[in-house]
A and B are shown apart, each in its own frame.
Chain A
Amino acid sequence: MEILKRRPAAFRRLRILALAALALAGATCKVDWLYVSYGPEWLTQVRAGFDLDDAMEDAIGAAWAEPRRVERYVQNGQERVFVFAETERGPALAVLDGETMEALKIFPPATGPFNDLMFQDASGQVVVGQVGIDSSLNAYNVAFTYSLAEMRPLYGFGFQYGTDYWILQPDPDFLRYYKSLDLITAPSPATAVDYSTPGTFDNAKVPDLEYLSTAFGEGYYVATVLWSSGSANAQVRFFPGLAPPNPLDSASFMLSYWPSRDDSAAWLTRDGFIRLDYDYDDDSKALVRQALDGSGAELDTFRIEDTEDQRFFFDPDGRHWYVFDRWYGRLYLLETWWPK
């Protein structure tokens, strides 16, 4: 028997529309669509967290702490996250488990001095400022990271190249490099190479060295920010090698971008260059990923709601990134949003 229910035609249309909408939603449904966050979007990427404020308060009695550099290294087969932080008591270092973000050891300022110079040498020890941390998390002094000639700690980007140790350091006029044969001998002499030879960077200053990475490729990516009166320019260049003399213009141009006044607004990873983008038109912020193949093509974006109370860090391997919540003093480990 056929039953016709007495209902208005409009209602039957509504039912059809509802079913059509469901079918459409089902057909177009993606997992990402289901896992949306109604807070900050990065919340969906969180894998672990570390309460830096609490840890520093417990360890050294510091009322506040803020990370300046976050790097991931492998020691003893374990991935570890090294967090160099400014605290109320001075620069300190926290070493965390790379997966759970549980603290493995907190190094108080007295162990230092620490600064944002951070790299790992071929033996696996991690240099942070003037301190070396071996795989057993023992600390010892590193003389190489202190310039006897200028009587000041070195900073910037360090790495081991062949058997030599190098540090690239931006100065007001130059991009200097320092070279040493080992970690316990002070560099002799402290050498400076003018990377601002005539050409692209003619008469420009190199006041800032954003970040450098040796974690991928054969060579070194360097991001430089050039400030001049009333304008600014930032570029990423690729050095295939570092045999001096090695002027900046000899490097391959990868991309240029408009730098942010925020000195933690651009990062280099294996999967691309990432910068914090602010759209004044709709007051939106996003992390934009650009290709490092020379095209500078925009690969994707990730929406960010707040940047005032947050700081971001990226692992060069492109697998993880970090959000530091300044309000609560917590550092979160996150998956990167792009397909691996």
Chain B
Amino acid sequence: MKPSRIGAATAVLLCLAFAPPPLLAQDSGDPGAGEGSGEAGPALRAAGKLDETVLVAAATAREGDAGSFLSSLSTAFVAELSARGIASRNAESPASIEADQHEPTRAAEFAREAACFVVALVDARMEGTRVAWRIAVYDARDGAMLGGDAWSAYAGLSALKLIEDSAASGAAELARALEAGLPPPRLSAPLRFSSVDEGALVSLGGGSAGASLPLGVIEDGLLVAPYLPLRVGERADFTVEREGSYPVNFTVRPRDDGSTVALPRLVPRSEGSFVLSTGRGRMSGLGFEYRPALVPDFAFLRLDTALFALARYGLKGAPWIWELRAGAGLYLTPPGWSFRLGAATGLASMFTFVADGKPYVDLALDTFSLLLEYHRGRYAFGLETRIPYSLGLASGLIQQGWMDEGGPLILGSVAWKY
């Protein structure tokens, strides 16, 4: 502490030692308050962290020398807070608050009465010829200690200097805590999970977090978990799993507003799927594909038939194309992911009916297809891009070569998985 500040504080303390403490903390607008106040206050205000008014609760039933030292301690602490730009006010002591209560509990009681949550408990008492004092600042929401100081000394004028130092130390520690931001409070109620996956087990942890703690299963779309002392907004990892589905790990930042955590849908294990598709070059038509799994949710066969018209000018007179396709493919991403990437290859035959004539017959290697699918429950919504290579049959219309001169063949699809 700098000399100028010490001098000013000492003078104030000496004056206030014999006067009743102020009901409200003073603002540090006085230039004589010292250099320190001029630095810390604006910095904190700029940081937007001065919203918390500190409730200074001095101990009751201190008389005589103890009362004087307590008054000095309270006054010095309020002055130090003010010097740091931290608003404060003195607490009134409700009769219901007992002096011998557990300190965090007392802080919570004060906070409830005063509708604030940063509470400084200040006390001084005589122990023989010595005076002992203590400043303890709590976050009353969860009892976390934000700062404080305690000391004892011979009960004389020399103790005032030490009391003043203690007040400065406690205030500085509180200022640092406020500057760093108060830790979020803990949840006040158990977490609630909602899900459409009836019977799914929800666990805390799991996945890469390792061991998990089962919290319960979804019943009637809801699970009220046992109380977890999680802080509001802090990440917490959970796992949801059910037989016949792939487990999903997810992270929650809980809020203490009573809202429900909506669980991600589980992706069921499937043995195959039926797919409806349409796309570029075949807007007037549909494809139907049977996709049995060779390895569930990993490798599959494709048996596809599609009928569509090149109806740029309407269906009347438009050529019709019937395509039969067979092939195989596999997924490149884990089955539990909602978005899945896959690749396939195969052989396609196309029968083109133009103007009621006999069909043209083409054959193409469906060399490479790229699949991008979004899986949701039993359904999957997909995009597929194909690059076929025509074999150029004499009976057909398509010359030998890559069938990409008109741009990529892109299909959109909806699949039902069984």
Residues of A in contact with B (beta carbons under 8 Å apart): 1-7, 11, 14-15, 18, 22, 25, 31-41, 43-51, 100-101, 303, 305-306, 327-328, 330, 332-333, 335
Chain B residues near A41 (CB-CB < 8 A): 405-406
**Interface of B: prevailing SS:** loop
Residues of B in contact with A (beta carbons under 8 Å apart): 207-208, 235, 237, 248-255, 259-264, 280-281, 283, 310-313, 316-319, 333, 337, 339, 341, 350, 352, 354-358, 360, 362, 372, 383, 388, 394, 396-399, 403, 405-407, 409-410
Contact for B250 among A6, A22, A36, A306, CB less than 8 A: A6
**Given A6-B208, A46-B318, A1 and B255 touching (CB < 8 A)?**
yes
State whether B362 touches A49 (Cβ < 8 A): no
A293 CB → nearest B CB, Å: 28
A7→B313 CA distance, assembly (Å) = 46
A101→B397 CA distance, assembly (Å) = 21
A101→B410 CA distance, assembly (Å) = 33
Q: Which residue of chain A has its CB nearest to the CB of B237? A: A6
Chain A residues near B350 (CB-CB < 8 A): 39
Contact for A33 among B280, B341, B352, CB less than 8 A: B280
A41→B337 CA distance, assembly (Å) = 40
A40→B350 CA distance, assembly (Å) = 13
A31→B317 CA distance, assembly (Å) = 18
A2 CB → nearest B CB, Å: 4
Contact for B354 among A34, A305, A330, CB less than 8 A: A330
State whether A7 touches B337 (Cβ < 8 A): yes
State whether B237 touches A3 (Cβ < 8 A): no
A26 CB → nearest B CB, Å: 12
Chain A residues near B354 (CB-CB < 8 A): 43, 46, 49, 330, 332
Chain A residues near B250 (CB-CB < 8 A): 3-6
Nearest 3 interchain pairs by C-beta: A49-B355, A36-B406, A4-B251
- List 22 A-B pairs, Cβ < 8 Å: A1-B254, A1-B255, A2-B253, A3-B250, A5-B248, A5-B249, A7-B337, A11-B333, A22-B383, A35-B310, A38-B281, A38-B403, A39-B360, A40-B398, A41-B405, A41-B406, A44-B319, A45-B312, A48-B317, A49-B354, A303-B405, A330-B355
Chain B residues near A7 (CB-CB < 8 A): 337
Chain A residues near B262 (CB-CB < 8 A): 1, 3
State whether A39 touches B398 (Cβ < 8 A): yes
A100→B405 CA distance, assembly (Å) = 30
A337 CB → nearest B CB, Å: 10
State whether B355 touches A48 (Cβ < 8 A): yes
State whether B312 touches A2 (Cβ < 8 A): no
State whether B355 touches A328 (Cβ < 8 A): no
State whether A38 touches B406 (Cβ < 8 A): yes
A49→B356 CA distance, assembly (Å) = 8
B375 CB → nearest A CB, Å: 13
State whether A33 touches B407 (Cβ < 8 A): yes
A11→B252 CA distance, assembly (Å) = 19
A75→B252 CA distance, assembly (Å) = 78
State whether B252 touches A2 (Cβ < 8 A): yes
**Given A4-B253, A6-B250, A39 and B352 touching (CB < 8 A)?**
yes
A41→B310 CA distance, assembly (Å) = 10
Q: Which residue of chain A has its CB nearest to the CB of B284? A: A35
**Given A1-B262, A4-B251, A46-B317, A11 and B337 touching (CB < 8 A)?**
yes
State whether A39 touches B313 (Cβ < 8 A): no
Q: Which residue of chain B has its CB nearest to the CB of A18? A: B372
Chain A residues near B208 (CB-CB < 8 A): 6
B396 CB → nearest A CB, Å: 8
State whether A51 touches B283 (Cβ < 8 A): no
A328→B352 CA distance, assembly (Å) = 13
Q: A2-B253, A37-B406, A46-B310 are in contact. List 16 more A-B contacts (CB 8 A).
A: A1-B261, A4-B251, A4-B253, A15-B339, A34-B280, A34-B281, A38-B403, A39-B397, A41-B406, A43-B310, A44-B310, A46-B319, A49-B317, A101-B355, A305-B399, A335-B313
A1→B257 CA distance, assembly (Å) = 9
Chain A residues near B310 (CB-CB < 8 A): 35, 37, 43-44, 46
**Given A14-B339, A40-B398, A328 and B283 touching (CB < 8 A)?**
no
B81 CB → nearest A CB, Å: 35
Q: Which residue of chain B has its CB nearest to the CB of A25? A: B410
**Given A14-B339, A35-B310, A46-B318, A6 and B207 touching (CB < 8 A)?**
yes
A18→B373 CA distance, assembly (Å) = 10
Q: Which residue of chain B has its CB nearest to the CB of A327? A: B394
Chain A residues near B259 (CB-CB < 8 A): 1
B190 CB → nearest A CB, Å: 13
**Given A40-B397, A46-B319, A47-B317, A35 and B254 touching (CB < 8 A)?**
no
State whether B264 touches A3 (Cβ < 8 A): yes
A333 CB → nearest B CB, Å: 8
Contact for A36 among B253, B372, B407, CB less than 8 A: B407
Chain B residues near A38 (CB-CB < 8 A): 281, 388, 398, 403, 406, 409
Chain A residues near B360 (CB-CB < 8 A): 39, 328
Chain A residues near B253 (CB-CB < 8 A): 1-2, 4
Max chain A Cβ within 10 angstroms of own Cβ: one of B237, B259, B355, B398: B355
B281 CB → nearest A CB, Å: 5
Contact for B312 among A1, A44, A101, CB less than 8 A: A44
Chain A residues near B261 (CB-CB < 8 A): 1, 3
A11→B248 CA distance, assembly (Å) = 16
A18→B409 CA distance, assembly (Å) = 16
Q: Which residue of chain A has its CB nearest to the CB of B192? A: A1
Chain A residues near B235 (CB-CB < 8 A): 4
Chain A residues near B311 (CB-CB < 8 A): 35
Chain B residues near A330 (CB-CB < 8 A): 354-355, 357
A31→B405 CA distance, assembly (Å) = 17
A80 CB → nearest B CB, Å: 17
A36→B310 CA distance, assembly (Å) = 8
Chain A residues near B249 (CB-CB < 8 A): 5-6
Chain A residues near B312 (CB-CB < 8 A): 31-32, 35, 44-45, 335
Q: Which residue of chain A has its CB nearest to the CB of B254? A: A1
Contact for A3 among B252, B337, B339, B362, CB less than 8 A: B252
Chain B residues near A1 (CB-CB < 8 A): 252-255, 259-262
State whether A49 touches B357 (Cβ < 8 A): yes
A205 CB → nearest B CB, Å: 37
